[in-house]
Amino acid sequence: MKIGIVCYPTFGGSGVVATELGKALAERGHQVHFVTYNQPARLDLFSENLFYHEVSVSNYPLFDFPPYELALASRLVDVVRFEKLDILHVHYAIPHASAAYMAKQILLTYGIYIPVVTTLHGTDITLVGKDRTFKPVVTFSINQSDGVTAVSENLRNDTYQFFEIQKDIRVIPNFIDLGRFNLKPKDHFKKAIAPAGERIVVHTSNFRKVKRTGDVVRIFAELVKQIPSKLLMVGDGLERSICEQLCRDLNITDNVRFLGKQDAIEEILSVSDLFLMPSQSESFGLAALEAMACKVPVISSDAGGLPELNVDGVTGFLKQVGDVEGMAEKAIYILEDDERLQQFKNNALERAKEFDLANILPIYEKYYSEVIELSRQNV
């Protein structure tokens, strides 16, 4: 198949899923064309089946708000026509689903019908999408997609609850490349971070409000009172400076390292004993899955799709959003006993294996074929 992929080219979960999916499809022999405004962060390999088409957005001084959606729609028309794509897969509804709809209508004037699959990732539905500024456009463009997928049952249900959707939404969960995300021998790094054999706790995110990074710091502040440990904060975003200040206020700066954005996340996870994800909302929790694949148990909130990934009492624990005390108590429970910690680590990896890329990739391929076939019948 010749597949066009649209996504945000950043470190965000939707961009990561889109890029890893595209890379894996290319490895299976499909021709994959990324149409994005920058080279996707994880598009870091050469393959004869991978192509990158940049969307350049005009910075003409009249525009206070450069029209990205129009530039994307135009580029999609161009790429679909000249590369003769079979299908477009757009990740994150806003504004990718509506840009794809516009491209589809323009392509019809050239006698081309391009089927569009929209994958809903989370905040495009739960935060931004349901805001009335976007709601009519999001509803319309989801209904106009030829196929719609959501990354968890919970996100599927939320979409039906918040929008008037007539389409069937297929759940295809996030996946993990176990070839990349696995426990790596990084003892020298572990010794440098935790010279006295302290436990290592980790959090990775884009430090947006929805991640409740302040809770991460507060949970750790309780934990470190009982168990010698270090906290690694990976990523960057608006809440980072607030968290740094909170660490000073709580007098734990010696035990916390802010590492900023990192490429080799799997190496950091490989030295870690516990992952914290107290998010306000989380459609799936890809960062937690990456941790689990590296044998790191997870203490998370029970928001969104997290219960579909993190099995309470088995791969970690789930607590209500904001229950800092409860999360700290469970973190101590896991970390205070070597044998118990090892059991949780093993369980985390076993669970992660269920989301192996090798299992999820054929589901996408089959879905593309179904959508292409159906759209041919309807033309």
How does DSSP assign 279-326, residue by residue?
A: -S--SS-HHHHHHHHTT--EEEE--TTGGGTS-BTTTEEEE-TT-HHH
Only one of the segments 128-136, 282-290, 317-325, 338-346 lies at the binding site for ligand GMT (rule: CB under 6 A); that segment is: 282-290
Asked whether 155 and 122 are in contact (CB, 8 A), the reply is: yes
- Quick note: the x/- pattern for ligand GMT over 67-96, rule CB under 6 A, is -------------------------x----
Strand partners for 356: 176
Q: Closer CB to ligand GMT, residue 15 or residue 22?
A: 15
The least CB distance from residue 18 to ligand GMT, in Å, is 9
Asked whether 334 and 310 are in contact (CB, 8 A), the reply is: no
Binding of residue 114 to ligand GMT (CB under 6 A):
no
Cβ atoms within 10 Å of 187's Cβ, excluding its own: 9
Binding of residue 122 to ligand GMT (CB under 6 A):
yes
Asked whether 258 and 8 are in contact (CB, 8 A), the reply is: no
Binding of residue 12 to ligand GMT (CB under 6 A):
yes
Q: Residue 115 is which amino acid?
A: P
Binding of residue 301 to ligand GMT (CB under 6 A):
no
Binding of residue 123 to ligand GMT (CB under 6 A):
yes
Cβ atoms within 10 Å of 208's Cβ, excluding its own: 17
Chain centroid offset of residue 60 CA: 33
The least CB distance from residue 69 to ligand GMT, in Å, is 17
Q: Closer CB to ligand GMT, residue 27 or residue 308?
A: 308
The least CB distance from residue 35 to ligand GMT, in Å, is 17
Pick one of 115, 129, 285, 316: the residue that binds ligand GMT (CB under 6 A).
Answer: 285
Q: Closer CB to ligand GMT, residue 86 or residue 275?
A: 275
The least CB distance from residue 333 to ligand GMT, in Å, is 25
Asked whether 359 and 172 are in contact (CB, 8 A), the reply is: no
Q: Closer CB to ligand GMT, residue 194 or residue 284?
A: 284
- Only one residue has tokens 């959501």, namely 150
Binding of residue 154 to ligand GMT (CB under 6 A):
no
Binding of residue 364 to ligand GMT (CB under 6 A):
no
Q: Closer CB to ligand GMT, residue 13 or residue 40?
A: 13
Mark out the alpha helices in the chain (DSSP H runs): 13-27, 68-83, 93-108, 123-126, 135-144, 153-162, 187-193, 213-226, 240-249, 265-270, 286-293, 324-335, 338-353, 357-378
The least CB distance from residue 10 to ligand GMT, in Å, is 7
Q: How many residues bind ligand GMT (CB under 6 A)?
A: 20
Pick one of 206, 213, 301, 310: the residue that binds ligand GMT (CB under 6 A).
Answer: 206
Record the tokens describing residue 306, joined without a space: 């997290």
Dist CA 121 CA 69 (whole Å): 18
Only one of the segments 77-85, 283-291, 345-353, 359-367 lies at the binding site for ligand GMT (rule: CB under 6 A); that segment is: 283-291
Q: Which stretches of the chain bind ligand GMT, using CB under 6 A?
A: 12-15, 17, 92, 121-123, 151, 174, 206, 208, 210, 281-286
